[in-house]
Chain A
């Protein structure tokens, strides 16, 4: 007859501070309470001090007339607009240079990163030279270099460099013709849309057919032909309903066309080239993280080289590339605030600079500016996390 070990008698219940789980909860609650109290205190104290010193507070200034001009604006803006609108103008300028910077940095970064692994000695050395130079010079100096050393050295308006008398480059910036759309132009975006829908349908159909029969069409090339060809065809059928507004030297300056200001060019070039050097290293490490056996195995299956890259190497490499790539995008967006050093009218320059100074409401303006960068960064990071989850390897 075996004696079953008796269950431990529970005895009197231990006091709650002996219970590890409860204790942890209590400490967390205390910490949260302390943080909240601290925040309330800071905010209340700030408000009291501002009031005591007779400094105006609140966000009412956003509806006041700004009264100053901004050189580059994506929306209608005049000196009669409100401070609220200067905020939007600055924000859009920040987003513009960030978005174009991210696109350019990604393209340059991938090309240089792949070039660095090239078996061609010269190309590989050039790529590593690029990375070492641009990664190791402070970004602010690179911005100054492009702005002061390169773009300031351009000729005056009267002696502009010109390309076929339609595109001009001088110390005031780059002047390109802008399209003026006439009636009937609406068909072209329509044709573009149709081509994209058709391409997607074709790709899906091709994939199903491939899985069912093993046969497939070169869907990529057909789609490209559709997307480029169809709008072009419509363009010529409708008799090219576009005229160009060519910039022309009148008075002090070129009038007409689109002006790309040198502050934008300098900032965009510096941000793209600098960030691209980091992206190139990320791409290289991503590709090198794939064991060589993977490539060999794919080759042993006699997959052609481009499919080896597309189906075997890149999907696995992306898993390694995307998280650090996200940080680089975030860095680029935040670094765009260096614009203020050369006078590009971004959010920091226009809003946290001029608006702050004209209204004197430092706390509100800086808080709004910080909130904007935080929001943009969180949104980008959310998108990249979603994208990462999509391309991540599904482990079976």
Chain B
């Protein structure tokens, strides 16, 4: 009898535990991250320049640098990142369910994604737009001549929607050939399954250099949409939202102030009050986010400023060779602008 009673107690408490835990999923991402010892960062399934493993198997890219900046701000160690490769279809569910803490995966900021998915975009790492890549031999020089073309596009992207809009607006027909990964879309394009490969122009540049004969393909001049790409976090954890948001702002501010990875130690001595505030020499601006005063110093000394990251990954210092264009700072004719540290 006694035994039976014990069993029941055990059973009911187990049930209570099981039922209880599900609703206890707390929103303190910073605390969880510190306990885990690494930032879980959702990246792409391999997009050179943005997020792709290099020949040593280390993840590199503009999006990857956001993950590293967050890790540098939180741990003072830009390497404390666990990368999780996600395709376009998986990405939001992975973030919603807590599999990743930051999604930094060339994701377009749209109303639906910002308001109905329980997610928040923290800023814009790259201002992009959709373009078309086509075989030179077809002799097409404008997107307006693409009536009837078969178009390879990646599933679950804004590209899928914007291309449909563009063709309808211009009263043209097209066959969407939809694949799960960008690798498959390139395969389809190379095999001739489709005439045109479409994606964000930055991606097209990245995919083009992977082709067996890059010179055979041209990117058409039309940019048919606005695609602001940026990091995403879960809604409802403002502290974490701020950390990711200000990690990017710190990189932008650093570029504006001329602080680089190389001169950041000299800059610690700087008399400029803006620089002193950013590097934590004057006041502690990390406190409000639960971080140390040297949060921005760690980002800049380990990852570099935005301009450095851009040049290294997608700019002229990289195989992609994308001009700064509108991604230049506002002081240089672009639209990248970060609020001040104050």
Q: Check A262/B193 contact, CB under 8 A, given A71-B176, A79-B165, A360-B112.
A: yes
- Measured in the bound complex, the distance between the Cα atoms of B172 and A251 in whole Å is 13
Closest to B190 in A: A152
Tell me whether A187 is interfacial, beta carbon within 8 Å: no
Closest to A155 in B: B192
> 1/0 per residue B64-107: CB within 8 Å of A?
00000000000000000000000011001100100000000000
CB-defined contacts of B184 to chain A, threshold 8 Å: 343
In the complex, how many angstroms separate the beta carbon of A205 from the nearest chain B beta carbon? Answer: 53
What DSSP secondary structure best describes chain B's contact surface? mixed
Q: Check A69/B174 contact, CB under 8 A, given A251-B147, A357-B155, A358-B161.
A: yes
Given A55-B118, A340-B180, A343-B184, 15 extra CB contacts under 8 A: A45-B22, A49-B22, A53-B234, A55-B96, A78-B168, A148-B187, A157-B192, A250-B148, A252-B148, A253-B149, A255-B148, A262-B193, A341-B180, A343-B179, A357-B157
In the complex, how many angstroms separate the beta carbon of B13 from the nearest chain A beta carbon? Answer: 16
Tell me whether A52 is interfacial, beta carbon within 8 Å: yes
CB-defined contacts of B178 to chain A, threshold 8 Å: 71, 343, 345, 349, 353-354
Closest to B179 in A: A343
Tell me whether A24 is interfacial, beta carbon within 8 Å: no
Tell me whether B211 is interfacial, beta carbon within 8 Å: no
- Measured in the bound complex, the distance between the Cα atoms of B151 and A69 in whole Å is 11
Tell me whether A299 is interfacial, beta carbon within 8 Å: no
15 sample A-B contacts, Cβ–Cβ < 8 Å, listed by A number: A45-B23, A53-B236, A69-B160, A69-B163, A69-B176, A70-B176, A78-B168, A255-B148, A340-B180, A341-B180, A343-B188, A345-B178, A349-B155, A353-B180, A357-B156
Question: How many chain A residues have a CB neighbour from B under 8 Å?
Answer: 43
> 1/0 per residue B229-243: CB within 8 Å of A?
000001110000000
In the complex, how many angstroms separate the beta carbon of B144 from the nearest chain A beta carbon? Answer: 13
Tell me whether A244 is interfacial, beta carbon within 8 Å: no
In the complex, how many angstroms separate the beta carbon of A149 from the nearest chain B beta carbon? Answer: 11
Tell me whether B1 is interfacial, beta carbon within 8 Å: no
- Measured in the bound complex, the distance between the Cα atoms of B153 and A358 in whole Å is 14
Identify the interface centre among A50, A152, A340, A360: most chain B CB within 10 Å of its CB: A360
- Measured in the bound complex, the distance between the Cα atoms of B178 and A107 in whole Å is 32
Would you call B177 and A55 a contact (CB within 8 A)?
Answer: no
Residues on A lying within 8 angstroms of B by beta carbon are 41, 45, 48-50, 52-56, 67-71, 78-80, 148, 152, 156-157, 171-172, 250-253, 255, 262, 340-341, 343, 345, 349, 353-354, 356-360, 362
- Measured in the bound complex, the distance between the Cα atoms of B163 and A67 in whole Å is 9
Closest to A70 in B: B176
- Measured in the bound complex, the distance between the Cα atoms of B22 and A318 in whole Å is 51
Closest to B193 in A: A171
Question: How many chain B residues have a CB neighbour from A under 8 Å?
Answer: 47
Q: Check A71/B25 contact, CB under 8 A, given A55-B96, A56-B116, A252-B195.
A: no
Identify the interface centre among B88, B138, B195: most chain A CB within 10 Å of its CB: B195
- Measured in the bound complex, the distance between the Cα atoms of B135 and A171 in whole Å is 16
Closest to B191 in A: A152
CB-defined contacts of B180 to chain A, threshold 8 Å: 340-341, 343, 353
Would you call A152 and B168 a contact (CB within 8 A)?
Answer: no
Would you call B96 and A251 a contact (CB within 8 A)?
Answer: no
Tell me whether B117 is interfacial, beta carbon within 8 Å: yes
Closest to B140 in A: A252
- Measured in the bound complex, the distance between the Cα atoms of B183 and A341 in whole Å is 12
Tell me whether B324 is interfacial, beta carbon within 8 Å: no
CB-defined contacts of B188 to chain A, threshold 8 Å: 343
Closest 9 CB pairs of A and B: A357-B156, A79-B164, A55-B118, A53-B118, A56-B116, A69-B176, A360-B117, A54-B118, A152-B191
Would you call B117 and A55 a contact (CB within 8 A)?
Answer: yes
Q: Check A253/B148 contact, CB under 8 A, given A152-B191, A353-B180.
A: yes
In the complex, how many angstroms separate the beta carbon of B152 from the nearest chain A beta carbon? Answer: 9
Would you call B164 and A172 a contact (CB within 8 A)?
Answer: no
Would you call A358 and B156 a contact (CB within 8 A)?
Answer: yes
CB-defined contacts of B267 to chain A, threshold 8 Å: none
Select B88's contact among A55, A255, A343, A357, beta carbons within 8 Å.
Answer: A357
In the complex, how many angstroms separate the beta carbon of B156 from the nearest chain A beta carbon? Answer: 3
In the complex, how many angstroms separate the beta carbon of A368 from the nearest chain B beta carbon? Answer: 16
Select A67's contact among B146, B165, B177, B187, beta carbons within 8 Å.
Answer: B165
- Measured in the bound complex, the distance between the Cα atoms of B88 and A70 in whole Å is 18
- Measured in the bound complex, the distance between the Cα atoms of B118 and A54 in whole Å is 4
Tell me whether B282 is interfacial, beta carbon within 8 Å: no
